[in-house]
C-alpha cells in the first residue's frame, strides 16, 4: 500500500524525523504527532491506515493512543515502538489490538518489513470484507435464501435501514422469518457486536411482563429475591426484538411508550430512571390497523414502532424461492442429522412447489427434516414427504388468489391437474383404471393426461 497514510507518534524530535524520512522514501503519506495529545487530535480529524507510536511518552502514553485508535477506527493497524522491552507491556499491547511490538534500537529494514506486513494484512482484511459484501448483494443476506422480486425488495430495505437507529415494525404470517429479518438488520448495523435480545411477548405471563422488560429491585413484589436488570438493560447498546407485540398488555404498553420517548426505563419498585440505548424492532402476525381499531394496540405506540415497516410475503407468494430453500434445507439438515441426503427428486420438488404452505418457511423446513430422517437414499423421494402434501388440493375460493406479480394461468392449471393425477394414483395404489374412476374420466383420458404430464406407466389391472 504505497499510498497508505501513516501517523507517527513520538515525543523525541530525532526519532520523528528519522521515521518521517524513512517512510516518505517508501512512498507513504506521513503525519507527525509530538505526543499522545497531538495524536488524539489527529485521529479525530483524519483516517489513517497505520499508527506507529512510541509506548513511553509524557502525558498520554502509547497504550492510550492504541486504545483511542481501536475505539475510533478498529481496522487501523497499530505498531508499538519502545526502548523498554518487557513481556508484560508486549502482552498488554497485543491484547489491546496492536499488530506488533518493535524494540528500540531497531533496524530500518526490519521496521519497513513489519510496516509492509501490517498494511498488507489490513488490505487483505478489507478486500475480504468487500468480497463478503459483494457476495451478500449477489446472493442475498447471510441468513436469508431468496431470489424472488419481493424478497429482493426486503433485502434492499434491510441494507438501507441497517445503519439507522429508527424503530422497525415487521409484519407477516407465522413462519415467514420475522426474527431472521430482525437478526439481519442487527448484523448489518454498526451495533453488530452488541447484544441482540429476542423476546416472544406472547410467552410471558401478563403479571410478569413489566418486570421482564424493565427489571425489578429486590423486594418489590413477592418472589423478587434479588435485583433483576430486565431485557431493555440486557440489550443496551444493541437491539431488542419484541415479537408478538400485540400481546403486551395496555398497562405495560404505556411504560413501553415512555421508554421509547425518554430513552430511559424504571425498574419495578425503583425510584430512579436508567438510561438505555436500544434499537427496537417489533413484529406481529396480526393486522395491526385492526389491532389498533380494537384497542389491543395503542395507536401512539403503533406509530412509534412503525417508523420503518417491513412486510414479509407468505411462501405461496414467492414460489420461485422454493427450490432454493429446499436445497438450502437439504444441505443444512443433512449435515445436522448426519444423513447422506444430497438432493431431491423432480417429482418430490414439484409437490413442494405446488403446496400452499400455510405454515410458510417453518413448515417447509419441518417437511424437509422429516423427509431426510425417514428417507433411505441420497435423494429425497415423494414417499418420505408428509402425507398432507400428497392429498388433492381443495378447490375453493382460498386457492383462487392471484399473487401480486401475476401468474401463468395455463401452467398453474397444468400443475393442479398433475397433482390430482398423482393423488389419484397414490390413493389407488398405482392402479390407473381405478385412478381414472376416482377422477370421473375414462381410462383413455387418464392415460393421455398422464403421458402429457410425463408420468406414463404400463396400466395395471383392477
Average pLDDT, the chain: 84
Cα separations (Å) of 48 from 22, 30, 305, 423?
A: 18, 9, 39, 67
| Residues 316/348, Cβ–Cβ less than 8 Å | no
- Confidence tier at 130 by pLDDT (50, 70, 90): low
Quick one: pLDDT at residue 402? 66
What distance in Å separates the CA atoms of residue 190 and residue 285, rounded to the nearest whole number? Answer: 28
What distance in Å separates the CA atoms of residue 456 and residue 449, rounded to the nearest whole number? Answer: 9
Q: What would the mean pLDDT of 143-168 be, rounded to a whole number? A: 87
For the whole model, what pTM was predicted?
0.58
- Confidence tier at 315 by pLDDT (50, 70, 90): very high
| Residues 385/346, Cβ–Cβ less than 8 Å | no
Instruction: Tell me the H-state helices in 339-442.
Output: 346-354, 360-374, 409-427, 432-438
Q: What would the mean pLDDT of 138-160 be, rounded to a whole number? A: 77
Query: Which of 316, 325, 333, 323 lies closest to 372, judged by CA?
Result: 333
Q: Give 182-236 pLDDT, tens digit per residue.
A: 999 998 888 888 899 999 998 888 888 998 899 888 877 777 767 788 899 889 8
Domains in the chain, ordered, with CATH? 5-130 (3.40.50.2300), 149-313 (3.40.50.300), 316-399 (1.10.8.60), 408-462 (1.10.10.60)
114-123, 250-259, 397-406: which is most confident: 250-259
- DSSP line for 273-335: -EE---EEEEEESS-HHHHHHTTSS-HHHHHHHTTEEEEPPPGGG-GGGHHHHHHHHHHHHHH
Beta carbons within 8 Å of 312's beta carbon, 6+ residues apart: 154, 170, 171, 172, 173, 176, 177, 178, 181
- DSSP line for 209-271: HHHHHH-B-TTSSTT--S-B--HHHHTTTSEEEEESGGGS-HHHHHHHHHHHHHSEE--BT--
User: What does DSSP assign to residue 73?
Assistant: -
Residue 456, pLDDT > 60, answer no
Q: What would the mean pLDDT of 279-306 be, rounded to a whole number? A: 93
User: What does DSSP assign to residue 3?
Assistant: T
- DSSP line for 425-450: HHHTTT-HHHHHHHTTS-HHHHHHHH
C-alpha cell, 183: 437478526
- Confidence tier at 249 by pLDDT (50, 70, 90): very high
Query: Which of 324, 45, 280, 281 lies closest to 180, judged by CA?
Result: 281
Beta carbons within 8 Å of 241's beta carbon, 6+ residues apart: 179, 182, 183, 186, 196, 197, 198, 199, 281, 282, 283
Quick one: pLDDT at residue 397? 42
Q: Give 317-332 pLDDT, tens digit per residue.
A: 888 889 889 988 888 8
Residue 457, pLDDT > 50, answer no
What distance in Å separates the CA atoms of residue 306 and residue 309, rounded to the nearest whole number? Answer: 6
Residue 403, pLDDT > 80, answer no
Quick one: pLDDT at residue 221? 77
Query: Which of 194, 185, 165, 164 lies closest to 279, judged by CA?
Result: 165
| Residues 457/435, Cβ–Cβ less than 8 Å | no
Residue 103, pLDDT > 80, answer yes
Q: How large a percentage of the chain has pLDDT more than 70?
A: 88
User: Helices 13-25 and 108-139: crossing angle, nearest 10°?
Assistant: 60
What distance in Å separates the CA atoms of residue 375 and residue 111, rounded to the nearest whole number? Answer: 61
What distance in Å separates the CA atoms of residue 368 and residue 158, rounded to the nearest whole number? Answer: 28
Amino acid at each position: 500500500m504505497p499510498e497508505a497514510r501513516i501517523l507517527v507518534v513520538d515525543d523525541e524530535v530525532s526519532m520523528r524525523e528519522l521515521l518521517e524520512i524513512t517512510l516518505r522514501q517508501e512512498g507513504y503519506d506521513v503525519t507527525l504527532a509530538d505526543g499522545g495529545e497531538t495524536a488524539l487530535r489527529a485521529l479525530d480529524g483524519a483516517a489513517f491506515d497505520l499508527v506507529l507510536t512510541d509506548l513511553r511518552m509524557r502525558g498520554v502514553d502509547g497504550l492510550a493512543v492504541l486504545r483511542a485508535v481501536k475505539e475510533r477506527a478498529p481496522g487501523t493497524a497499530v505498531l508499538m515502538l519502545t526502548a523498554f522491552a518487557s513481556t508484560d507491556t508486549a502482552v498488554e499491547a497485543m491484547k489491546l489490538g496492536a499488530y506488533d511490538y518493535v524494540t528500540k534500537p531497531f533496524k530500518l529494514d526490519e521496521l519497513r518489513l513489519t510496516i509492509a506486513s501490517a498494511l498488507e494484512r489490513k488490505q487483505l482484511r478489507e478486500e475480504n470484507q468487500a468480497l463478503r459484501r459483494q457476495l451478500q448483494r449477489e446472493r442475498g443476506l447471510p441468513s436469508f435464501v431468496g431470489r424472488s422480486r419481493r424478497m429482493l425488495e426486503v433485502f434492499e430495505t434491510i441494507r438501507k435501514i441497517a445503519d439507522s437507529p429508527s424503530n422497525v415494525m415487521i409484519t407477516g404470517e407465522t413462519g415467514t422469518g420475522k426474527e431472521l429479518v430482525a437478526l439481519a438488520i442487527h448484523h448489518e448495523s454498526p451495533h453488530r457486536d452488541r447484544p441482540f435480545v429476542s423476546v416472544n411477548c406472547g410467552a410471558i405471563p401478563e403479571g410478569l411482563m413489566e418486570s421482564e422488560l424493565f427489571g425489578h429491585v429486590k423486594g418489590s413484589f413477592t418472589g423478587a429475591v434479588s435485583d433483576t436488570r430486565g431485557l431493555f438493560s440486557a440489550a443496551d447498546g444493541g437491539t431488542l426484538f419484541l415479537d408478538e407485540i400485540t400481546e403486551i398488555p395496555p398497562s405495560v404498553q404505556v411504560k413501553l411508550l415512555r421508554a421509547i420517548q425518554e430513552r430511559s426505563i424504571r425498574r419495578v419498585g425503583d425510584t430512579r430512571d436508567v438510561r438505555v440505548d436500544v434499537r427496537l424492532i417489533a413484529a406481529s402476525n396480526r393486522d395491526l390497523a385492526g389491532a389498533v381499531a380494537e384497542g389491543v394496540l395503542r395507536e401512539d405506540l403503533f406509530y412509534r414502532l412503525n417508523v420503518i415497516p417491513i412486510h414479509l410475503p407468505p411462501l405461496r407468494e414467492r414460489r420461485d424461492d422454493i427450490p432454493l430453500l429446499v436445497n438450502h434445507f437439504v444441505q443444512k439438515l443433512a449435515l445436522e442429522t448426519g444423513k447422506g441426503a444430497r438432493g431431491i427428486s423432480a417429482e418430490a420438488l414439484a409437490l413442494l412447489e405446488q403446496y400452499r404452505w400455510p405454515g410458510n418457511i417453518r413448515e417447509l423446513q419441518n417437511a424437509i427434516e422429516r423427509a431426510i430422517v425417514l428417507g433411505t437414499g441420497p435423494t429425497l423421494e415423494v414417499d418420505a414427504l408428509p402425507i398432507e402434501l400428497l392429498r388433492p388440493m381443495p378447490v375453493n375460493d382460498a386457492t383462487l388468489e392471484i399473487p401480486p406479480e401475476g401468474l401463468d394461468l395455463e401452467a398453474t392449471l397444468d400443475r393442479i391437474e398433475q397433482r390430482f393425477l398423482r393423488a389419484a394414483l397414490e390413493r389407488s395404489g398405482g392402479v390407473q383404471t381405478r385412478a381414472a374412476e376416482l377422477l370421473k374420466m375414462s381410462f383413455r383420458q387418464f392415460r393421455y393426461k398422464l403421458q402429457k404430464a410425463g408420468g406414463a406407466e404400463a396400466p395395471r389391472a383392477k
